[in-house]
Every structure is written in structure tokens, then in C-alpha cells.
Amino acid sequence: MRHLWLLALIAFGSSLFSGVLTLPEAHPGKPSVATTPAVGGNGGGTGGGVGGGETSTDYSEYDEEEPQRAPGNLAKSTAGPKLPLPYFDQPKVDMYVGDNGSSVKVDCPVKNYNAQHHAILWYKDNSAISNGNTLFSSVYGLDTNFTLTVPVAANATDGQKYSCHVMPPDVRREVTIHLGPEPSTPAPATTRPTPAAGSAPTGQDCGLWLVLFLAALQLAVRF
């Protein structure tokens, strides 16, 4: 009977003071608190009080990953200065070799040449004979200014073509070698001008007038 009275008293107290035996609801936006009940000693049972346990706070919902940003020195690319384009004043040149000439020097006078960004190649017709300071044939010569020495053999043909290429952007200077002396330019023909009507008398007319004057003077002296 004693146990029945205790159960009835507990049921009556829970219905009358319902807020005492219920836990408060968790508010939104606040971290949830997990409680771990404390374990009693050897002589007692399990403790049910909240104050005697350990509390742990979960902040996982507040841990947001920040977006990764690229460093400032890698985000922007800087372009280097623009180089002027190489060019030739005379893209096509004719050279003449005399009968006694054994070789001829062909230069490559390129403008705006930069050794760090450009390379010079020599070609005979469509065959490469040099790349920079490297020659592919020992019959030719090449100096530090990329001047090519071309041998002139006895059986050489007239009109040999050599070209100097500047890479990039493949600017060319074509040189045509002719055998024999350079042809001289003929002088323009001179024509004697015809005197216009009413112009001053020429030397022939002056002589005629002089003869007439002497004849008149001789007749005056005689008479």
C-alpha cells in the first residue's frame, strides 16, 4: 500500500507541476547542449542531476569554409614590351662578280635585330646553308655579323640566288649574284638645239656680216 501511495503522489505532482519535470525546448539559432550524466559512487545509484555531468557544445553548423583566393601576384598577368619588327631597306639586291673574282661577300643588313629574340638563316635557293653561327657546308664562310662568303667557281652559273631570313617573323633579303662586270648605264644622247625664229644670230651669221663690212670698207678706201 505504501508503494501505491507513492505512485499516486508522483502522478498527482507531475500533473500539477508539469513544467518542473519537462526539459525546456531548444531555441533556434543556438548550439545544442549535450549532457552526460555523472556516475555515482560505490554506495549510491546513478545521479540524474544535470549539474553533476559534463556538457559539450556542438559548433559544427557555424563552421563555414571561406572561399580560397588566388594570390595577388598570380591573379594578374603582365605582358612584356612589344618588340619592333625587323626589316630590310632593300629586300632585293643584284651583285656582280668580275672575271678575276674568286669569292663574293653577301651581307645581311637587317634593322631592329635582337639577338635574344631573332635568328638569322642563310639559304641558297630553297636549301638552308646556315642557322645562326652554324654552317651546314664548309665551302662557305660566315663572320660574326652574319656576312656570308660565297665562293665563285670556274664553272659557276650566272644568276645564283642567296637569301637571308630573319626568324621570326621570316623577313627575307634576296641577293642575286651575276658573273661579269656591272653593266654601265649609257649616257643620254645630246642633240643640237635649233634656233628659234627671231633669236640672236649665231657665229656663222656674224662671220657673214664681218665679210660684208670689210668689202664695203675696201671699196670706200679705193674711191
Residue 219 is classified by DSSP as H
**In the structure grid, which three cell numbers stand for residue 96, read together?**
656582280
Contact in structure between 51 and 33 (CB atoms under 8 Å)? no
Q: Coil, strand, or helix at residue 129? A: strand
Q: Coil, strand, or helix at residue 174? A: strand
pLDDT at 181 over 80: yes
- Is 204 among the domain residues? no
Res 87: pLDDT: 95
- Is 200 among the domain residues? no
Q: Coil, strand, or helix at residue 204? A: helix
- Is 3 among the domain residues? no
**Mean pLDDT, range 133-137, rounded to an integer:** 92
Cα distance between residue 142 and residue 162, in whole Å = 14
Best-predicted range by mean pLDDT (9-13, 39-43, 179-183): 179-183
Q: How many distinct structural domains can be found in the chain?
A: 1
66 or 164, which is more confident: 164
Q: In which band, very low, low, confident or very high, does the pLDDT at 202 lie, cut at 50, 70 and 90?
A: low
Bridge partners (DSSP) of residue 134 are: 131
Res 158: pLDDT: 86
**pLDDT tens digits, residue range 103-113?**
899 999 999 99
Q: In which band, very low, low, confident or very high, does the pLDDT at 40 lie, cut at 50, 70 and 90?
A: very low
62 or 207, which is more confident: 207
Tell me the pLDDT of the chain averaged across its residues: 73
**Mean pLDDT, range 150-161, rounded to an integer:** 85
- Is 215 among the domain residues? no
- How many of the other CB atoms lie within 10 Å of CB of 221? 6
- Is 149 among the domain residues? yes
- Is 205 among the domain residues? no
Among residues 216, 5, 159, 138, which one has the least CA distance to residue 129?
138
Bridge partners (DSSP) of residue 105 are: 149
Res 39: pLDDT: 43
Res 127: pLDDT: 93
Residues in CB range of 121: below 8 A, 6 or more apart: 128, 130, 131, 132, 164, 165, 167
pLDDT at 211 over 60: yes
Contact in structure between 183 and 100 (CB atoms under 8 Å)? no
- Is 107 among the domain residues? yes
Res 5: pLDDT: 61
Res 222: pLDDT: 67
Residues in the chain: 223
The CATH number that applies at residue 117 is 2.60.40.10
pLDDT at 71 over 60: no
3 or 73, which is more confident: 3
Q: In which band, very low, low, confident or very high, does the pLDDT at 50 lie, cut at 50, 70 and 90?
A: very low
- Is 96 among the domain residues? yes
pLDDT at 210 over 60: yes
Cα distance between residue 186 and residue 170, in whole Å = 38
Greatest alpha-carbon span in the chain: 206
Q: In which band, very low, low, confident or very high, does the pLDDT at 37 lie, cut at 50, 70 and 90?
A: very low
Task: State the residue range of the domain holding 139.
Answer: 92-179
Res 157: pLDDT: 83
